[in-house]
Structure 1
Amino acid sequence: MGCTNLCVIDAVENSSDVREGTLFAVIRGTRVDAHQYINEAYIRGAAGLLVDRPHPEIPLPQCVVPDVRSAFSRICESLSGNPTRLLNIAGVTGTNGKTTTAWLIRSLLEKSGRRTGLLGTVEYSDGQQSEPATLTTPDSRSLAQWFGRMVAAGTTHAAIELSSHALHQGRAAGVELGAAVVTNITQDHFDYHSTFEAYRSAKTRIVELVQPGGMVALNVDDPAGAWSVRNHVCESLSAVSYGLSTLADVSLQIRDESLSGTRFRLGLHGRHIECATRLIGRHNLSNILAASAVAFHFGLTPEEIAEGIETFHRVPGRMEQIDCGQPFDVFVDFAHTDDALQRCLNSLKSLTAGRVIVVFGAGGDRDRGKRPKLGKAAMLADVAVVTSDNPRTEDPAKIIDEILAGMQNDGTVTIVEQDRREAICKSLQMAAPGDCVLIAGKGHENEQVIGRERFSFDDRKIAREFLRERWQPLARPPERVSA
C-alpha cells in the first residue's frame, strides 16, 4: 500500500528504536500491541510500516503481509546480508537438554578446528567474543546481527537454541538451518501455549527452517515427540534417529557409569568407537548422541567426535558439581520441569551410595500446572526440601502449597523452607558422607526475582560459601541489585 521501491537502513519492532530511514514492524505481542505506537514511529521518522492490515490514516508507505513476525525476521536477515546462507547452523529445540546439546555441538565442532558461534540460554558468541544471554533465542533483529557478526569473524558453524516461544512467533523465520535437533517434548510454558498440542506444534516448526539436504535428529527415547516431528520431515531432508536403543542410527552402549562420568561405546551409522565423558546422567548421554548426530552430518569423523566428547567439561548450571572437599556430592542444575527433575534424580539415585537430597521450587507467574508434577517428581529423592524459585509477583507460600499438592507420603522426607538461601544451607547441613545434594531449578542464573525486584542470587555461590565455612549456617539477606 503506497509502496513502489522502499529503501530502508534498518528494521525494528520497538517504536523507541525508530529513526530516519527505519522500517517499523507493527507486531501484535502477547502483552503489547504495537499498533498503538504507529503514530510515534511516524513522528520519529519511520520510512515505512510492516503491517498485517492497512492504516490509511498514516501517510507512510505500508507493506501489508499476513504474518508480520515472519516477514520481519526475513527482512532482518536480508538487511544483515543473509549471513545464515554462509554458515552451517544447527538448531536445537526441546523441553529439556537444549543448552547442553548446543554447547556440545559447539565443542565438538571447535575441537575439530571449525570456528563455531553459539546463541542460547547462557551466552551469545560470534566465535570470538561472547556476551551473557538475555533470551534463549534473541529477537529477529539481534539474531540476524549476531549471525552477521559470526560471518565477519570468520566463523563457519553455529549452534542455536530455539525456544517454543521463538518458533511460534516466527522469530527465526529467516534463519536457514543445516541441521535440527528435537531433544524431547514434555510439559512446559503452558502459561503461553495453553495446551500440549499447541506447545508441540510450536516445537515441530523447527523443521520448516531446515534447508534441502539438511538433517533432522529425532530422539527415539521420546517416541511421541519423535513421531510428531517425523511427520513434518519432507523428502528433501534426512531424518536421523538417536537414542540409548542400539536400533537407533546414533546410539551407545554403556560400559561403566559413576558420579565421575561415563564410559561407553558410541555407534554412528554402523561405525563404532570407545568414548568417555565427564557429564553425569543418562539424560546427558542423550544430549551427547544428539550432538554427535549433528557433528557427523557436518563432516566430523568418529575419532574427532570421540575426542571432542572426552575433552568437553561442563555447561554452567547443568549438573554442575560443587566440590569444596566435602565428603558428599553436590550438584546444581537448571531442571525446572518435572521431566528434567525426574531424569536428574533417577541418575543420581542410581549412582549414589547414600541419600539423595533435593532442593527445588517453581517459578511464579508461569505455568501453574507443572507445580504438583514437580512435587511428584521430587518424591524420587530421599529428602525433598521445597523452597522458592523466582516467585515474581506471586505469593511464595501459595506456590509451595501447589507443589506440595503433588507430593504423597511415600517415605520421602519433605521439608518446607521458603527462604531459598536457608533451604540450600539446610540441605547441605543435613548431608552425610556418601549422600548427594541436588540444588535444582535455577542453574546458571545469578539473580532471584521477588515481586518486581531482582536480587543477586547464585545457587552455586551460596553452596560454595556454606561448604567453605565448614557447614556453618548463613543468615545474610539477599543483596538488592536493581529495582
Structure 2
Amino acid sequence: MRSPAISAHLELLESLNVNQFKTNSLEVTQGDVFICRQGNNVDSHEFVEEAIAKGASAIIANRAMTLAIPVMVTESYYQSLALVKAFYRHPHLRLKHVGVTGTNGKTTVSDCLNQILNRSCRSAYIGTLGAKIADFDIPLDNTTPDGVTLLNLFNEMGKQRIDLNIMELSSHALSQDRAGFVSLQVGVITNIGQDHLDYHKTKDSYVQAKLQLIDRIRPQGTLVVNLNDPHADAAIERAAQRVNILTFAIENSQADLNATQIVSTLRGTCFDLVFKEERITVNSPMPFDYNVENVLAIVAVLISLGWTLKAAGNAIELLKTPDGRAQFIELSNGAIGLVDYAHNSDGLGSLLKNVRAHVRNRLIVVVGVTGDRIQQASAIGEICAQYADLLIFTSDNPMGAEQSELFRALTFSISNTPHFEISDRAEAIKLAKQLSEQGDLIVVCGKGNETFQYVNDGKGKKQRYMGDLAALQRTEEF
C-alpha cells in the first residue's frame, strides 16, 4: 500500500512530461525533476533556483518551499528515492544484475563481460568508463552513481529491452549504500588491497566496505572470489550457507577455476584453464598475469550464468582490451608506449612488475598521484623507482592539492633513479617520447582513457585534457 502523500506525488508526476530525475543542479535539463538532498557538506535545497533556471519542471524536497514550479515534499531522500522507483515502476526488478568490486580489475572484468554477453543477450554496463546501454555511451561522474541516477539508467535499460546489467561497485558506493536496492545475481570480488584511505581512514574499514558486496547478493545467487586474495577466507565465511561460492586463482588447485601453464607476452597471454575435470587452452588478447586473474573472474561469472567452459574460453579470445587498460602504441622511433589506468600502489606494483619482464631496453614511467591519495604517494614513488630506469612525475587529478606537495611526497623515498618533475601532463609525455629510443617502453599510468583533470578541490569541476593516448600519438618534430 502506498501512503496518500506518495500517491498524490505520483499523480502530479504523471501529469508532467518528466524527462529524468536529477540530484545535481548543474546537470538539470528541460523537463527534469530536481531532487534535493541534505548532505554532510552540501544542502542541494540551496540550488533549486539554479535547477529551475535550467528547465526543471518540478522539485522534490525534504522541506516546504515556495517556488514558481510544483514542489513535492518527502520525509527524506530515501522516500524521494522510493517515489522515483514507483514512478519508473521499479525498473531494477526487471533486470538481472552482476556487481563487481575490487581494488583493481573492476573495469576490465565488467567491460569485458558486457562485450561477451552482448553477443548472446542484451546487456549493459555501468562503471568507470561511463554507462553503455545499447548504442548509447553515457558519461558518469562516479564509478557507481547515486541511486537516482541508477534508476534513470535502469529505466533506459528497460526501454532498450536490456536483460542483464553489469556494474562496478566502488568502496565509496558500497559504504554509502548507493546501490543498496539492487539485488545481485552474481557478485564478484577481484581482489582487496589498500586504497581510498582518505575516505575510509583505516584498512579494516576499506575491507569491510568491499565485503558488503556479499550482502547485496540475493539468496542462492553466486559469489565469485579470488582464492589467492588474503581476504578470500573472510569473504567465503560471510557468504557461506546463504549464496553459492565459485573461487578462482592462478596456480592454485584448491580453486574451482584455476589457470596454469601461463605464457605471457606484451600482446597477450596463453594459459590452461581448469574447471573441475575439464581443461582447455585459452589465448587471451590481454597481456600480463593480473589480466589472467581478470579473465578467470570473467569466466567464473559466465559459468555461474550457465555457460560451458569451452564457450567461455572461446569468448575470451574475441575480447578487445578496454580503452585505457594495457593499451599499446608503437612510436616512430622504435619505442613502444603503454597507457594504463593503474593509479594506486597495488595496481602500479602489479603492472610494473609484469611490464619489467618484457622490456628490451629501458623502462620509462610517467606517473602522478591524485590529491586524495597523497598518503600513498611515497609508496607509489618507491614502487615506480624499483622498476623504472627513468621516472617522469606529473599531475594526475590534483584535486586542489599543491602539485609541489604531491611531487615532494612522490620523491620522498627515491634516491638513485633519475627523475623529472613536469606539472603539465601532456608535456611530461612529450619529454618521455623525446628521451626514448628504440627498444624502450614508455608506461603512462593513472588516467587510462580519461580526457580531463580534476584540478580544483574535489570532483566538482573538470579541466579538459587531451588524454594520454592522444599525447603519445601526437606527431611532433623532436
TM-score range, shorter-chain basis? 0.7 to 0.9
- Report Cα offsets for 1:134-156 as digits up to 9, x if no partner: 32112212211212222222221
Q: 1:75 to 1:253 in 2, by over 3 A?
A: farther
Aligned-residue identity in percent: 27
Determine the C-alpha separation between the residues in 1 that align with 2:81 and 2:259: 38
- CA deviation vs aligned residue, 1:418-442 (integer Å, no higher than 9, x gap): 3322221222222232221100011
Deviation at 1:61, TM superposition (A): 8.3
- The answer to whether 1:89 aligns with 2:101 is no
Q: Deviations over 1:255-312 (max 9, x none)?
A: 4211111111112344221111111111111111111111111112222211211011
**Secondary structure of the equivalent of 1:179?**
strand
**Is the aligned partner of 1:382 residue 2:392?**
no
Q: Match for residue 171 of structure 2?
A: 164
Structure 1 pair 385–63 and aligned structure 2 pair: CA distance change class (3 A): same
Match of 2:214 among 204, 207, 215: 207
Corresponding residue for 1:457? 466
Match of 1:305?
312
Match runs of 1:469-480 below 5 Å: 469=476, 472-473=477-478
Give the partner amino acid of 2:433. Answer: L
Establish whether residue 230 from structure 1 lines up as the match of residue 258 from structure 2.
Answer: no
Contact 1:121 1:136 survives alignment (8 Å): yes
Q: Which residue of 2 aligns with 1:415?
A: 420
Q: Structure 2 length as normaliser, TM-score?
A: 0.85
**Partners of 1:47 and 1:465 in 2: how far apart?**
47
1:353 aligned to which of 349, 360, 367: 360
CA contact (8 A) 1:265 1:274 kept: yes
Alignment of 1:303-382 (within 5 A): 303-364=310-371, 366-379=372-385, 380-382=387-389
Cα gap change, 1:63 to 1:129, in 2 (>3 Å): closer
Which deviates more from structure 2 when the two are superposed, residues 415-424 or residues 91-100? Answer: 415-424
1:130 shift after superposition: 2.2
The one-letter code of the counterpart of 1:433 is Q
- 1:48 to 1:319, Cα distance in 2 relative to 1, 3 A: closer
SS class of match (2:103): coil
Q: Distance in 1 between the 2:406 and 2:323 partners? A: 27
**Cα distance, 1:235–1:455 mapped onto 2, change above 3 Å:** same
**Matched residue SS, 1:253:** strand
Find 1:106's aligned residue among 102, 106, 114.
114
- Code of the residue aligned with 1:424 in structure 2: it is I
User: Is 1:281 equivalent to 2:291 in the alignment?
Assistant: no
Q: Does the 8 Å CA contact 1:246/1:253 hold for their aligned counterparts?
A: no
For residue 478 of structure 1, what is the aligned residue in structure 2? none
Deviation of the 1:2 alpha carbon: 8.8
Kept after mapping to 2: 8 A contact 1:254/1:262:
no
The equivalent residue for 1:400 is: 407
User: Does the 8 A contact of 1:20 with 1:45 survive in 2?
Assistant: yes
What secondary structure, in the 3-state scheme, does the structure 2 residue paired with 1:367 have? helix
Q: Counterpart amino acid of 2:102?
A: G
Aligned to 2:443: 438
Within the alignment, does 1:427 sit opposite 2:432 as a pair?
yes
Deviations 1:329-350 (A, max 9, x none): 2100111101111111011011
1:293 to 294, 300, 312: 300
Pairwise CA RMSD: 3.2
Shift of residue 413, structure 1, vs aligned partner: 2.6
- Aligned partner of residue 206 in structure 2, secondary structure: helix
Q: Secondary structure at the match of 2:187?
A: strand
Q: 1:32 to 1:270 in 2, by over 3 A?
A: farther
Distance in 2, matches of 1:73 and 1:196, equals 31
Going from structure 1 to structure 2, the CA distance change for 1:161 and 1:78 (only over 3 Å counts) comes to: farther
CA distance in 2, matches of 1:372, 1:258: 30
Kindly report which structure 2 residues correspond to 1:182-221, keeping only aligned pairs within 5 A, or say none: 182-221=189-228
The 2-side partners of 1:453 and 1:399 are apart by 19
- Residues 312, 47 of structure 1: alpha-carbon distance in 2 compared, 3 angstrom cutoff: closer
* Distance verdict in 2 for CA 1:108–1:45, change over 3 Å: closer
Structure 2: segments with no counterpart, 5+ residues: none
Does residue 29 (structure 1) correspond to residue 51 (structure 2)? The answer is no
CA contact (8 A) 1:183 1:287 kept: yes
Secondary structure of the corresponding residue to residue 292 of structure 1: helix
Which stretch of structure 1 is more off in the superposition, 448-457 or 286-295?
Answer: 448-457
Structure 2 letter corresponding to 1:205: Q
Cα distance in 2 for partners of 1:181, 1:166 equals 15
User: How far 1:101 moved relative to its partner?
Assistant: 0.7
- C-alpha change, 1:187 and 1:356, in structure 2 (3 Å) is same
Q: For structure 1, list consecutive stretches of 5 or more residues without a partner in the other structure.
A: 474-483
Report if the CA contact (8 A) 1:268-1:293 is conserved: no
CA offset digits 1:438-461 (Å, max 9, x no partner): 000111111234446613321110
**Structure 2 CA distance for partners of 1:352 and 1:14, relative to 1, 3 Å:** closer
* Distance across 1 between alignment mates of 2:453 and 2:260: 40
Whole-angstrom distance in 2 between the partners of 1:41 and 1:397:
38
Say if 1:360 and 1:441, in contact at 8 Å, map to a contact too. Answer: yes
SS in 1 for 2:463: strand
Can you list the C-alpha shifts for 1:150-174, whole angstroms capped at 9, x where unaligned? 2222221221111122222221122
Question: What secondary structure, in the 3-state scheme, does the structure 1 residue paired with 2:338 have?
Answer: strand
Q: How far did 1:320 drift?
A: 0.8
Q: Which amino acid aligns with 1:334?
A: Y
Q: Which residue of structure 2 lines up, in the alignment, with residue 481 of structure 1?
A: none
